[in-house]
């Protein structure tokens, strides 16, 4: 097993979870979209994302390899699936304590935000808001029609949604498929979610 690839996948999973940490615009609704994430102006992730309330799934390609990341705040877990290998990594994540559960763009948040105008972003007419969270300014572009996020910018990270499609998302999208092998990583200091992992890949 190539541990270098595994570490890369863990890093991507960590980036994915951290991205969810500041995306406070996600409605308790069901929708899918094409998504891209930029860090300091550089494209770092591109693919599709699916939401069913607080549950989320991101599909992306990394060097020709398909990676799927599933966030389950209801279980305090995040899974990274390596599709070609039919294996997955499991990370214990306390979403509530670390603020990683996607919130709602609701009346309370909107009341605390400052509307600074209206713009068309990614071909969608949006209302633009600014909100300070823990001393950090976050800028939101919210679809005027559906109230869903189109762009979110915080610090040096930018997330864009395109081709937003509201509608039912199957439960199976947010589960580990049958036949996938769970990989257990050695304890790696400084890696989030690694505290409960020990042994070698394929071990129990």
Catalogue the long-range contacts made by 117-120 (C-beta closer than 8 Å, 24 or more residues apart): 118/144
In a domain, 88, yes or no: yes
In a domain, 167, yes or no: yes
Q: How many domains does the chain have?
A: 1
CATH of the domain at 98: 2.50.20.30
Report yes or no on 201 lying in a domain: no
Within-domain flag for 61: yes
Q: Is residue 189 part of a domain?
A: no
**Which of 135 and 3 is assigned the larger pLDDT?**
135
Residue 190 lies in a domain: no
> Are the C-beta atoms of residues 153 and 129 closer than 8 Å to each other?
no
114-150 exposure pattern, b = at least 16 Cβ within 10 A, e = fewer: eeeeeeebbebebbbbebeeeeeebebbbbeeeebbb
Average pLDDT, the chain: 75
CA distances (Å), origin 164, targets 42, 111, 181, 190: 23, 25, 32, 36
Q: Which domain holds residue 127?
A: 3-183
Q: What is the mean predicted confidence (pLDDT) over 49-63?
A: 84
pLDDT for 1 equals: 46
Q: What number is the average pLDDT over the span 105-134? A: 84
54 inside domain = yes
Question: Which of the listed ranges 42-46, 149-153, 177-181 does the model predict with the highest average pLDDT?
Answer: 177-181
pTM: predicted TM-score of the whole model, two decimal places:
0.68
Per the domain annotation, does 170 fall within a domain?
Answer: yes
Q: What average pLDDT score do residues 86-112 get? A: 64
């Amino acid at each position: 097993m190539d541990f270098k690839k595994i570490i890369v996948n863990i890093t991507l999973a960590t980036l994915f979870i951290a991205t969810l940490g500041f995306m406070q615009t996600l409605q308790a609704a069901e929708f899918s979209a094409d998504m891209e994430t930029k860090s300091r102006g550089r494209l770092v992730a591109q693919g599709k994302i699916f939401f069913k309330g607080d549950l989320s799934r991101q599909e992306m390609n990394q060097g020709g390899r398909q990676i799927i990341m599933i966030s389950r705040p209801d279980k305090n877990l995040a899974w990274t699936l390596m599709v070609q290998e039919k294996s997955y990594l499991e990370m214990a994540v306390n979403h509530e304590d670390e603020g990683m559960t996607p919130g709602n763009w609701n009346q309370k948040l909107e009341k605390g935000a400052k509307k600074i105008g209206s713009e068309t972003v990614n071909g969608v007419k949006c209302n633009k808001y600014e909100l300070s969270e823990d001393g950090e300014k976050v800028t939101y572009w919210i679809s005027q029609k559906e109230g869903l996020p189109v762009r979110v910018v915080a610090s040096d990270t930018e997330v864009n949604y395109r081709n937003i499609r509201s509608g039912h998302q199957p439960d199976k999208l947010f589960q580990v498929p049958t036949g996938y092998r769970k990989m257990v990583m050695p304890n790696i200091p400084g890696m989030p979610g690694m505290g409960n992992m020990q042994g070698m890949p394929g071990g129990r």
